C-alpha cells in the first residue's frame, strides 16, 4: 500500500511541477501520508510527522484577559477603589467589611476559588489579604441561568432571545472584572462555566468562597455539592438566613407571584439545612458570622457560614 502511494504521489508531482512546492509543505506531506493511510499529525516545532494517535490538546481552562474594554461596556456590581479610576459605581459596597463578609476565614498564604465572582471584589480582596493563588469563577453563557417561570416574561416567551440578552448582560459584568483586574494588577485567573459541573481538572483550593450566589439558583444544594469537591479545607457560603422562629431544617421559597421583577431568587434555607448538607459532604460548620453590609446604600444582613472539611472527598 505504501509503495503504491509513493508511486501515485510521484506521478502527480511529475505531471504538475507546481505541486512539488505544495507537496513539500506540511500540508503536502499530510496529503501524501493520507494517501498512504499513515497518521497525519505533526510536531509543531520540528514539523516532522508523529506516529500514533493524535496528541490530545485540552482546551485551556482559564480565559485570556480581553485586550480592550470600553468603560461603557462594564457593569459594576461592586464598589471598588481602583487606581486612576477612583471608586466604581457598584451596588454592593463591602470595602470596609470584606473580612466579615467571608466569615473571617484565613486567606494569607492560601489558595482561593471565588465562585460567582461578578466584578471580582472578593477575588481581588483575597489577593490583598495575602492569598497565594486566586481563581475567579463565573457563569459562561446566559442560558445557564434559571429564573422563576413568569409566563409573560421574555424568559418564558422566547427563551433563546432571553438567553442572548442574558449572555450580553453577564459579559458586562465580566468586562468590569477585567478592567479592575488590570487596574489592580491582579494575578487572579478566571474561568467561566457551569456551577453545577466545574471541571475536575480545576483541582482543589484551600478555601472556596461562594457568596450571594446560592439564592439565585434553582438547585442550591446541587451547587453546594459541586463546589464542595474543590474545597480542600474551608468552604465559605455567604447566604441570607431568614429568622423563621423555628430551629428545624426549613427551605423557604422566595418567589412571589405578584412580583415578576423578583424572578431570580429561589430559596432561603435555615441554618440546619446547611448543617445537614455540609455534613453529608464531609464538612462541619466551624463558625457563622452575621453582619450588615451596604447594598444600594441600604443595610442588608448576610451570614457567612464557614465550613471545615473533616473527611476527604473521594477522588
Ligand X SMILES: C[S@@+](CC[C@H](N)C(=O)[O-])C[C@H]1O[C@@H](n2cnc3c(N)ncnc32)[C@H](O)[C@@H]1O
Query: Which among 16-24, 40-48, 112-120, 157-165 is the span making contact with ligand X, rule CB under 6 A?
Result: 112-120
C-beta of 40 vs 189, nearer to ligand X = 189
Count Cβ atoms below 10 Å from residue 17 Cβ, excluding itself.
8
CB of 176 to ligand X, least distance (A): 10
C-beta of 116 vs 282, nearer to ligand X = 116
C-beta of 144 vs 229, nearer to ligand X = 144
User: According to CB under 6 A, which one of 129, 195, 235, 239 is a site residue for ligand X?
Assistant: 195
Query: Which among 10-18, 34-42, 126-134, 206-214 is the span making contact with ligand X, rule CB under 6 A?
Result: 206-214
Grid cell for residue 33: 501520508
Long-range interactions of 239-243: CB distance < 8 A, separation 24+:
239/211, 239/214, 239/215, 239/268, 239/269, 239/274, 239/302, 239/303, 239/305, 240/215, 240/268, 240/301, 240/302, 240/303, 241/268, 241/269, 241/270, 241/271, 241/290, 241/303, 242/268, 242/270
- By the rule CB under 6 A, 136 interacts with ligand X: no
Q: β-strands 205-211, 231-239: how paired?
A: parallel
User: How many Å from the N-terminal Cα to the C-terminal Cα in the chain?
Assistant: 47
- By the rule CB under 6 A, 116 interacts with ligand X: yes
C-beta of 95 vs 308, nearer to ligand X = 95
Exposure string over 225-239, b if 16+ CB within 10 A, otherwise e:
ebbbbbbbbbbbbbb
Task: Please state the length of the chain.
Answer: 315
- By the rule CB under 6 A, 144 interacts with ligand X: yes
- By the rule CB under 6 A, 238 interacts with ligand X: yes
User: According to CB under 6 A, which one of 75, 138, 270, 305 is a site residue for ligand X?
Assistant: 138
| 286, containing H or E segment | strand 283-295
CB of 194 to ligand X, least distance (A): 6
- By the rule CB under 6 A, 231 interacts with ligand X: no
- By the rule CB under 6 A, 229 interacts with ligand X: no
Residues found near ligand X in the complex (CB under 6 A): 77-78, 92, 116-118, 121-122, 138-139, 144-145, 170, 173, 195, 211-213, 216-217, 238
Amino acid at each position: 500500500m505504501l509503495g503504491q502511494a509513493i508511486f501515485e504521489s510521484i506521478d502527480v508531482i511529475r505531471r504538475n511541477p507546481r505541486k512539488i512546492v505544495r507537496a513539500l509543505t506540511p500540508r503536502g506531506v499530510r496529503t501524501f501520508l493520507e494517501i498512504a493511510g499513515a497518521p497525519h499529525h505533526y510536531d509543531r516545532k520540528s514539523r516532522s510527522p508523529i506516529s500514533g494517535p493524535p496528541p490530545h490538546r485540552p482546551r485551556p481552562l482559564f480565559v485570556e484577559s480581553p485586550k480592550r474594554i470600553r468603560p461603557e461596556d462594564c457593569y459594576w456590581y461592586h464598589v471598588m477603589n481602583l487606581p486612576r479610576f477612583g471608586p466604581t459605581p457598584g451596588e454592593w459596597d463591602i470595602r470596609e467589611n470584606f473580612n466579615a463578609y467571608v466569615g473571617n476565614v484565613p486567606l494569607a498564604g492560601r489558595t482561593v476559588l471565588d465562585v460567582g465572582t461578578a466584578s471580582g471584589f472578593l477575588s481581588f480582596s483575597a489577593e490583598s489579604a495575602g492569598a497565594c493563588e486566586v481563581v475567579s469563577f463565573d457563569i459562561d453563557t446566559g442560558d445557564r441561568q434559571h429564573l422563576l417561570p413568569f409566563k409573560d416574561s421574555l424568559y418564558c416567551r422566547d427563551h433563546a432571545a432571553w438567553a442572548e440578552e442574558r449572555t450580553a448582560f453577564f459579559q458586562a459584568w465580566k468586562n468590569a472584572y477585567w478592567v479592575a483586574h488590570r487596574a489592580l494588577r491582579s494575578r487572579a485567573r478566571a474561568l467561566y462555566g457551569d456551577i453545577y459541573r466545574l471541571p475536575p481538572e480545576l483541582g482543589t483550593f484551600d478555601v472556596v468562597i461562594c457568596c450571594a450566589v446560592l439564592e439565585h439558583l434553582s438547585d442550591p444544594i446541587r451547587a453546594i455539592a459541586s463546589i464542595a469537591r474543590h474545597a480542600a479545607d474551608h468552604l465559605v457560603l455567604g447566604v441570607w438566613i431568614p429568622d423563621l422562629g423555628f430551629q428545624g431544617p426549613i427551605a423557604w421559597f422566595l418567589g412571589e407571584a405578584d412580583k415578576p421583577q423578583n424572578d431570580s431568587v429561589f430559596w432561603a434555607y435555615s441554618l440546619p439545612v446547611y448543617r445537614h448538607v455540609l455534613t453529608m459532604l464531609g464538612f462541619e460548620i466551624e463558625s457563622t458570622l452575621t453582619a450588615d453590609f451596604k447594598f444600594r446604600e441600604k443595610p442588608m444582613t448576610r451570614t457567612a457560614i464557614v465550613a471545615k472539611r473533616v473527611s476527604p472527598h473521594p477522588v
